[in-house]
Amino acid sequence: MAVIEIKNVAKRFGDYQALHDINLTIDDQEFMVLLGASGCGKSTLLRIICGLETASEGEVWIGGKRVDHLPPKDRGISMVFQNYAVFPHLTVFENIGFGLRMQKLPNDQVKRRVERTAGLMHIDQLLKRYSGELSGGQRQRVAVARALAMEPDVILMDEPLSNLDALLRMEMRAELKGVLAESNTTAIYVTHDQVEAMSMADRISVMHEGKIVQAASPIEVYRDPAAEFVAGFIGNPPMNFLPATPAGAAGQWSVAGQTLHGPNAGKDLKFAIRPEDLTLADQGFQARAKVVEPLGAHLLVTCEVEGHQFRAILDSETQVRMGDTLTLAPQDGRGRWFDPATTLAVS
């Protein structure tokens, strides 16, 4: 049983505030992904949970026990480092078995567990090598195997697959998720790869400038972003934004010449729509195509609507040329609304 509770955690490096008042509860055996742009404080939060960094304020609880004052080894966690940290003076075998040897497990048990985790990570051929003789991706897998071999209650992973090629990454992603689900481990997984986040997470915490902007299931983060930042960050490409002004009647909004139904609010809002939620229609936004990118599965068209950049994902058979004017209609129920003052979602 390892629930992780982060209560009012803040972190300052001198004058620089890396984390602001973080509150987050991660359930037992949950797979939580921290997603955010480079420098938003993901690693810092992970290091605080791990005990490698002390929070300036706040508390960290693991499994119902306050752990702020405990050294990393007494927190029941293991960690995969962003830059692998594979010990250069030990073979792959001894690297993976390092923690087990510290626990003074008998040799045959160490051997069994090392070989099993090495198998999971497809590095069983490399057990005799030293880290200097491995590629970046192989080193990364050694680091993951080393953490898994500990069979911890909580595993913290800082971009553990960032150095693998696309195919291997997809394979390891599925495998890692399977292994963790089987082992009843609570996992926090840092990445800035959205696809990875969407595909692996039970819940995603989107971080921005040292704050958690939204913590919710992948589909909720995608469909109902809690803030403008999330809407503009998640999705490839992310949501389109257009200014909306009240159009007389309550709940009626004028957006780029169209009248749309929206929330009741007394001030200007922003209308947001995903590129794939747009269809060609007789009535809709007048969009002038500026860049047309055939991506195989579909067609990505970057247009301009009343001076605002506007992207649409259309069927790959659609005939569009640069300079064409398209009429794009938002699908019913897919539009979202944000308050420009607070940047939060309005419904």
Binding residues (CB under 6 A) for ligand ATP: these are: 13, 16, 18, 36, 38-44, 82, 192
∠ CA 125-78-93, nearest 5°, is 25
Query: Tokens 């169209």, residue?
Result: 258
* Minimum CB–partner distance for residue 49 and Mg ion (Å): 13
Contact 186, 180 (CB under 8 A): no
Interface with other proteins includes 184 (CB under 8 A)?
no
Q: What is the C-alpha separation between 91 and 66, in angstroms, rounded?
A: 36
φ/ψ of 293, rounded to 5, equals: -120, 105
CB within 8 A of 178, min separation 6: which ones? none
* Minimum CB–partner distance for residue 40 and ligand ATP (Å): 4
Q: Give the nearer residue to other proteins in terms of CB position, either 155 or 303.
A: 155
Q: Give the nearer residue to other proteins in terms of CB position, either 73 or 112.
A: 73
Other CB atoms within 10 A of residue 227 CB: 19
Interface with other proteins includes 130 (CB under 8 A)?
no
Side chain identity, residue 10:
A
Query: Tokens 């940290």, residue?
Result: 85
Determine which residue in the list 16, 38, 71, 165 makes contact with other proteins, applying CB under 8 A.
71
Contacts of 109-114 spanning 24+ positions with Cβ under 8 A: 113/149, 113/151, 114/145, 114/149
Interface with other proteins includes 146 (CB under 8 A)?
yes
Interface with other proteins includes 241 (CB under 8 A)?
no
Q: Give the nearer residue to other proteins in terms of CB position, either 73 or 267.
A: 73
Q: What is the C-alpha separation between 243 and 307, in angstroms, rounded?
A: 11
* Minimum CB–partner distance for residue 38 and ligand ATP (Å): 3
Strand ranges of the sheet holding 186-191, from the earlier edge strand across to the other edge: 77-80, 154-158, 186-191, 31-36, 203-208, 211-216
Q: Give the nearer residue to ligand ATP in terms of CB position, either 40 or 312.
A: 40
Q: Give the nearer residue to other proteins in terms of CB position, either 131 or 258.
A: 131
Interface with Mg ion includes 43 (CB under 5 A)?
yes
Interface with other proteins includes 88 (CB under 8 A)?
yes
* Minimum CB–partner distance for residue 66 and ligand ATP (Å): 23
Interface with other proteins includes 78 (CB under 8 A)?
yes
Sign of CA dihedral 116, 119, 124, 128: negative
Interface with Mg ion includes 191 (CB under 5 A)?
no
Radius of gyration of the chain measured on its C-alpha atoms: 24
Q: Which does 78 bind (CB under 5 to 8 A by kind): other proteins, ligand ATP, Mg ion, none?
A: other proteins
The window from 69-77, 79-87, 146-154, 245-253 that contacts Mg ion (CB under 5 A) reads 79-87
* Minimum CB–partner distance for residue 19 and ligand ATP (Å): 8
* Minimum CB–partner distance for residue 21 and ligand ATP (Å): 15
* Minimum CB–partner distance for residue 152 and other proteins (Å): 9
* Minimum CB–partner distance for residue 203 and other proteins (Å): 24
Interface with other proteins includes 50 (CB under 8 A)?
yes
What is the 8-class DSSP label of residue 331? P
**Count of residues in contact with other proteins, rule CB under 8 A:** 22
Kind plus residue range of the DSSP H or E element containing 215 = strand 211-216
Q: Which does 16 bind (CB under 5 to 8 A by kind): Mg ion, other proteins, ligand ATP, none?
A: ligand ATP
Q: What is the C-alpha separation between 268 and 246, in angstroms, rounded?
A: 7
* Minimum CB–partner distance for residue 192 and Mg ion (Å): 9
CB within 8 A of 190, min separation 6: which ones? 33, 34, 42, 43, 46, 82, 156, 157, 158, 159
Task: List contacts with other proteins (CB under 8 A).
Answer: 50-52, 71-73, 77-79, 81, 83, 85, 87-89, 98-99, 102-103, 146-147, 150
Task: List contacts with Mg ion (CB under 5 A).
Answer: 43, 82
